[in-house]
């Protein structure tokens, strides 16, 4: 993903019936940040931990501007796009499981995100970073960040009503319009979205998140251009990024004309594809893609699961664990369970989260550290906002079942 993981992250060229580019998304009214929340409403240990994680975020990362700083130590005056929208995603999960007290946090940050939108460009698009007060947004844009923003906004759409609900939908449409109109998709390597405006590479996760966004917008609006883009992105991924021997999706194809395929397998890349295929099966009424999602989940649990420590690995060449990218696997497993009722998926999701709570959670402030080795050694003690957001989100999701 854009600003924080340069290491890992992280259609035809002409489209018929393409949506016009749009203006800046309109967010809801700004509300003063709410008071610190008390955990409440359910006896699930995972729900309680999700609330405790939010309280850490409130006390250490939330700013008076309703943005979230990158971390607690080295980048306290900067906000990243995907960190902020991941927190929106996390708060939407809390609202979905029944706690409306998280809605103001979600809506406040959604309104703040207008500061990162490029209003001077007809296609728009979010910049990757800005100052926490909303100034200074400029530079590169990332396709995965913009796609994730749209996906998170549709979760906001799902749990709100009235004008706020409409605003979330319009913002998600604007993110999709930037994807379609920004030139990030081209014929290099037969299609696919570039990771960023530098056009450094074409990764699985970038395209998988775009696929999710287009599918969900087609489901909500019925607009056929979203369907057509979804089909094209899906076809490109299947034809270019699928690794038959492992049944998994590879990392990326390099830019600059080299066309080198990086065949490392990442947990979150494949989790994103599980979710995308489940959506594809639902939206397109094609159960073969549910089977593809189940098979991909099984392949994740063969290759990306460490059976000694009961956790998803970061990737097949990196022996470390991270709360955000590794716990994305739990989200995919929960969504598989929601589709087919097989509790084995939940077992993987739960054990993965349990690992994070055992090895990467600070027992004093209840925030999560950034990385550790499989055995819990060599802890990187930075407390990144995105790690907190994903632990809050996935534990809220799991609390419905465990």
Q: CATH code at 89?
A: 1.50.10.20
- pLDDT on residue 257: 74
Residue 77 lies in a domain: yes
Residue 129 lies in a domain: yes
Instruction: Give the separation between CA 335 and CA 112, rounded to whole angstroms.
Output: 30
DSSP 32: P
Residue 22 lies in a domain: no
pLDDT digits (tens, 9 = 90+) for 103-151: 999 999 999 999 999 999 999 999 999 999 999 999 999 999 999 999 9
Instruction: Give the separation between CA 121 and CA 53, rounded to whole angstroms.
Output: 37
- pLDDT on residue 176: 98
Residue 244 lies in a domain: yes
Residue 7 lies in a domain: no
The whole domain housing 294 covers 45-398
Residue 251 lies in a domain: yes
- Number of folded domains that form the chain: 1
Residue 243 lies in a domain: yes
- pLDDT on residue 42: 75
User: Please, are residues 77 and 68 in contact by the beta-carbon 8 Å criterion?
Assistant: no
**Is the pTM here over 0.85, yes or no?**
yes
Per-residue buried b or exposed e for 188-222, using 16+ beta carbons within 10 Å of the residue's own CB: ebebbbbbbbeeebbbbbbbbbbbbbbbbbbbbbe
Residues of the chain with pLDDT under 50: 2-35, 38-41
- pLDDT on residue 258: 84
The rounded radius of gyration (Å) of the Cα atoms in the chain is 19
Residue 33 lies in a domain: no
Instruction: Give the separation between CA 53 and CA 393, rounded to whole angstroms.
Output: 10
- pLDDT on residue 272: 99
């Amino acid at each position: 993903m854009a600003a924080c993981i340069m290491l890992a992250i992280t259609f035809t060229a002409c489209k018929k019936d393409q949506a016009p580019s749009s203006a800046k998304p309109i967010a809801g009214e700004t509300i003063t940040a709410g008071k610190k929340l008390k955990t409440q409403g359910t006896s699930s240990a995972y729900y309680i931990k999700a609330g405790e994680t939010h309280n850490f975020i409130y006390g250490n990362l939330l700013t008076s501007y309703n943005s979230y700083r990158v971390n607690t130590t080295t980048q306290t005056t900067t906000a990243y796009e995907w960190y902020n929208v991941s927190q929106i995603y996390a708060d939407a999960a809390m609202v979905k499981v029944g706690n409306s007290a998280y809605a103001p946090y979600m809506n406040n940050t959604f309104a703040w995100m207008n500061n990162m939108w490029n209003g001077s460009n007809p296609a728009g698009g979010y910049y990757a970073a800005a100052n926490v007060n909303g100034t200074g947004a400029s530079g590169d844009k990332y396709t995965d960040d913009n796609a994730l923003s749209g996906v998170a906004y549709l979760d906001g759409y799902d749990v709100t009503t009235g004008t706020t609900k409409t605003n979330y939908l319009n913002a998600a449409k604007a993110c999709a319009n930037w994807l379609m109109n920004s030139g990030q998709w081209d014929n290099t390597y037969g299609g696919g979205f570039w990771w960023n405006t530098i056009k450094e590479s074409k990764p699985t996760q970038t395209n998988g998140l775009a696929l999710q966004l287009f599918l969900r917008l087609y489901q909500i609006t019925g607009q056929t251009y979203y369907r057509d883009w979804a089909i094209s992105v899906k076809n490109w991924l299947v034809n270019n990024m699928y690794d038959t021997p492992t049944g998994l999706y590879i990392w990326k194809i390099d830019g600059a004309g080299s066309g080198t395929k990086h065949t490392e397998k990442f947990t979150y890349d494949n989790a994103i594809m599980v979710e995308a295929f489940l959506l594809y099966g639902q939206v397109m009424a094609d159960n073969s893609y549910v089977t593809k999602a189940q098979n991909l989940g099984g392949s994740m649990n063969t290759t990306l699961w460490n059976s000694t420590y009961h956790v998803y690995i970061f990737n097949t060449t990196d022996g470390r664990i991270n709360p955000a990218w590794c716990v994305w696997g739990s989200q995919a497993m929960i969504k598989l369970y929601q589709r087919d009722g097989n509790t084995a998926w939940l077992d993987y999701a739960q054990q993965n989260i349990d690992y994070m709570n055992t090895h990467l959670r600070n027992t004093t402030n209840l925030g999560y550290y950034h990385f550790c080795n499989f055995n819990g050694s060599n802890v990187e003690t930075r407390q990144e906002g995105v790690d907190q957001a994903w632990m809050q989100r996935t534990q809220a999701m799991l609390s419905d079942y465990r």
